[in-house]
Structure 1
Amino acid sequence: MRISRRNFVAGAAGLGLSTALASRPVHAADESIRIGLLTIKTGPLASGGIDMERALIMYLKERDNKLAGRAVELISADTAGVPATARTKTQELVEKNKVHCLIGPLAAFEALAIDDYIRQAQIPTLSVAAAEDMTQRSANPWFVRATSTSSQCAHPLGEYAAKELKYKKMITIGDDIAYGHEMCAGFQRVFEDNGGKIVQKLFSPLAVPDYGTYVGQLKEADAIFLGFAGSNGFRFLRQFVDYGMKDKMTVIGGMTALDEAVLRNMGDEALNIVTTCWYSAELEAKPNLTFAPAFRKEFKYDPGFYAASTYVNGAVLEAAIKAVDGKVEDKKAFMAALRKVNVDTARGPVKFDDTGNVVGNVYLRKVTRKDGRLVNSVFKTYPDVSQFWTYGKEAFLANPVYSRDYPPAKNLEK
């Protein structure tokens, strides 16, 4: 399987082969830092995966393809959203291309598939995937996540839906993968802890061709929470509207349900829908005032979750490389520096807890129109949100990892 390569090192034509790179001295000032990007460029999650690559390329170009004075080479691998392929591509990046670190993968099930290999290879990994337990009960010491766990942004929305929107009965629907399970479970837990009831839980295959059967079986409720990735939230909402459901039930969504990458294909059906995320293209964080306009200018749409994920990870990576004076070959020191990063990014400030997961802002957003386009306008900020929400680390970890079956659904209606 071929790995697509993007080389950003001026005058490095003679150094393009991994074997040539591997044969050089361990730390030479003119040797490039090799970054392996695990992304998805084919399949139902491809739109997000392509945005990941675009934004990381942009981050490096803005710095003349150098970090801490060392040239950078980015090597991209298309995992196709298949766990076995993600593992194969990871091994190729580490063993063949001799990368110094990994960024990605995109999907939680991909991260779980390479978890043991990351530990074995001791390869510093800046994750985009939201797989919960990799920073919880089975924390991976070679792993940091500057985005969020699957449930981290759903927790605040669960509280908001119960306390401020005053919803009593809700439905959750999401992709039938770890990401969807964990996101919906986190929302359910907080919503029900604040007095609400989840009366129906639905999960659909990641590549389901049609959502009609799911829309047709929806029970009566105040609102429905969407736990979709990629373009699936957009596809579900279209059919939800076609079936005449929007006037009967409010829609709210998780991090990627109405991502900026799909908003550009939507119309008035998306207006006023509330979603939760750690990012919005409308944020006034200083780095985002550079990133969002530049991305929009080049690609003609706003950056969202997927683009911001790698741009933010670029800032985390740069801060860590500076902290070790560019000596990324010292893997333990480099990994320790990643864990200690505290840096302003396009999402706002980023720091990590003792398991390597971000503690950062979560934003509630509402779809509005701005200059003729749909945007996710931020109307409420939850600062310094932990992956453990308000439950406390010990109490949170005493329970099973979020799943299809945990927390138990005690209020389902038959």
Structure 2
Amino acid sequence: MAKLRIAAVATSALLVLAACGGKDPAGNAGGPQGGGKATGAKGTVNVGLLNPATGPFAQLGTDVNAGFEAYLKSKGGVLSGYGIKVAKADEGTDAAQGTTKARQLVEQDKSQIVIGLVNSAIAYAVAPYLEQSNVPLLITVAGADGLTRKENGNTYRLSYTSSQDSMPAGPYACKDLGYKKTVVLALDYSFGWEAAGGFARTYKEAGCEIVQEIYAPLGTQDWGPYVNQVKKDADAVYVVAPGQDGVRLLKAYRDFGLKLPIVAHGATVDETILPTEGATADGVVSSLHYTPQIDSPQNKALLDAHDGKGNQYLEDGWAAAQTLEAALAQIDSDPTPEKIRAALAKVKIDAPRGPMSFDAYGQAIYPVYIRKVENKDGKRVNAIVTTVPGVSQFGPYDPATYLAFPGYEKLKGTWAK
């Protein structure tokens, strides 16, 4: 298998705020090598990839597309008997651009399913358009909690909601690590509020206390004034700072001599930035649905396709192709968007992250890994400490109870009260 190389590059808002995707920079559209299509015995399926191709978040889109195309290439461009024709479009930097590109994929490229989206604001605009167009959407990165909160039957997401992967860390920090008093230190935007809120809710319900909340603007250059506010009598600090914000925060934390242990959302120490963080990330405990340290045939195949390198975005793309394959396996002929949409609801796969399926709202259910940054043979890795199976967007709560909670944007600033 030809190997696809990735660049371990990230920016200050790797997650729900991110955005981009149109045709690729060369203007190509097509099969796994960016042109043409494979022939399948059962026919052809047109797939639209709507991911960042230019701009500050292009690397996320590059990785998602690379993961998707690597899996497709491993299958000779054919999934469950259907040849796959890929068209790429740039989601742009605002809702209008994203909707225009989605329309291009549907009306010009005749896509029978659209896969991708990094920017949650753009996803909020694109999802209704695709629902009205009767074309199913499979989100690969955009994490805003509200994207999978209604049973519309058209929108599916295999990446996390912002709070989903942080909820298992709450009881683990409280009960397993014994941290009874924790400070929240997070970025002051929707992803920060939702990820920190997921941790704070389950941490407090486990019997422990949030003693302080500190929020910093996205793109903060000097984290000194924020880390200096941390109460020294706390037991730990819970951090939400993806991308270069995470790099700068951890450096300031160590430079200012703070000794409190760090628990974090996994995006704070993602493999795209971990080499840059280096020793400043040592010992950080985090939770996420993926780590390259997973020992399974599925993850080995992903790593082998990318020179032994992996991150959550590559895995998202790979798992998206697996998901499409499993959906198409249920369709004997004439794979209309309606048939693909209905099949997605029944998908169950063994992805590199582990077993994955969808709930009634279209959100993925999967294992979440409690990881710890370790120096392994001179390389920092997110080593697996323990695994929490079958984590849904509702965490330990039933959907009705969880959906009745106030939004996390309303709860910011209340966890320490």
* Coarse TM-score class (shorter-chain normalised): 0.7 to 0.9
Aligned to 2:23: 3
Q: Could you tell me how far apart the structure 1 residues matched to 2:412 and 2:34 are?
A: 56
- Per the alignment, residue 240 of structure 2 pairs with 227
Conserved in 1, the CA contact under 8 Å of 2:286 and 2:372?
yes
The answer to whether 1:239 aligns with 2:244 is: no
1:340-390 per-position Cα deviation (integer Å, ceiling 9, x unaligned): 011111111111121111222111011112332111111101111222222
The aligned counterpart of 2:15 is none
Q: Deviations over 1:207-227 (max 9, x none)?
A: 444434433433333222222
Q: Which residue number in structure 2 is paired with residue 164 of structure 1?
A: 176
Q: Distance in 2 between matches of 1:305 and 1:375?
A: 13
Measured after TM superposition, the shift of residue 142 of structure 1 is: 0.7
Q: TM-score, normalised by structure 1?
A: 0.86
Report matched runs for 1:61-72 at 5 Å: 61-72=73-84
Spell out the pairing of 1:178-193 with structure 2 (5 A cutoff).
178-193=190-205
Name the CA shift for 1:73/1:184 in 2 (closer, same or farther; >3 Å): same
* Residue 381, structure 1, aligned to residue 368, structure 2: no
Corresponding residue pairs, total: 392
Q: In the alignment, is residue 400 of structure 1 matched against residue 400 of structure 2?
A: no
1:285 aligns with 2:292: no
Alignment of structure 1 residues 211-226 onto 2, 5 Å: 211-220=223-232, 221-226=234-239
Gaps of 5+ in 2: 1-20
* 2:276 partner SS: coil
Amino acid at match of 2:302: F
Residue type of the partner of 1:239? A
Residue 71 (structure 1) shift:
2.3
Q: What is the aligned partner in structure 2 of residue 131 from structure 1?
A: 144
Structure 2 counterpart SS, 1:181: helix
Equivalent position SS for 2:307: helix
Q: In structure 2, what is the Cα distance between the partners aligned to 1:50 and 1:347?
A: 20
Q: Is the Cα contact below 8 Å between 1:44 and 1:231 reproduced in 2? A: no
Matched, 1:36 2:48: yes
Q: Tell me what 1:349 maps to.
A: 355
Aligned partners of 2:184 and 2:213 also within 8 Å = yes
User: How high is the TM-score relative to the length of structure 2?
Assistant: 0.85
Structure 1 distance, partners of 2:124, 2:135, is: 15
Question: What's the counterpart of residue 308 of structure 1?
Answer: 315
Distance 1:351 1:250, change over 3 A: same
Residue by residue over 1:135-178, the C-alpha shift from the partner in whole angstroms, topping out at 9 and shown as x without a partner, is 22x34321112222211111110111111112222222333333
Q: What is the letter of the counterpart of residue 125 of structure 2?
A: A
Describe the shift of the 1:3–1:356 C-alpha distance in structure 2 as closer, same or farther (beyond 3 A): same
Return 39-48 or 123-132, whichever deviates more: 39-48
Gaps spanning 5+ residues in structure 1: where?
16-26
Between the aligned partners of 1:143 and 1:270, the Cα distance in structure 2 is 36
> Aligned equivalents of 2:100 and 2:218: distance in 1?
21
Q: How does 1:33-182 map to 2 (within 5 A)?
A: 33-80=45-92, 82-128=94-140, 129-136=142-149, 138-182=150-194
User: What amino acid does structure 1 have at the position aligned with 2:274?
Assistant: L
What SS does the aligned partner of 1:103 have? Answer: strand
| CA RMSD, 1 decimal | 2.7
> Are the aligned partners of 1:48 and 1:261 in contact in 2 as well (CA < 8 Å)?
no
Q: Tell me whether 172-181 or 127-136 shows the greater mean CA deviation.
A: 172-181
Q: Distance in 2 between matches of 1:32 and 1:321?
A: 11
Q: Contact between 1:47 and 1:230, CA under 8 Å: does it hold in 2? A: no
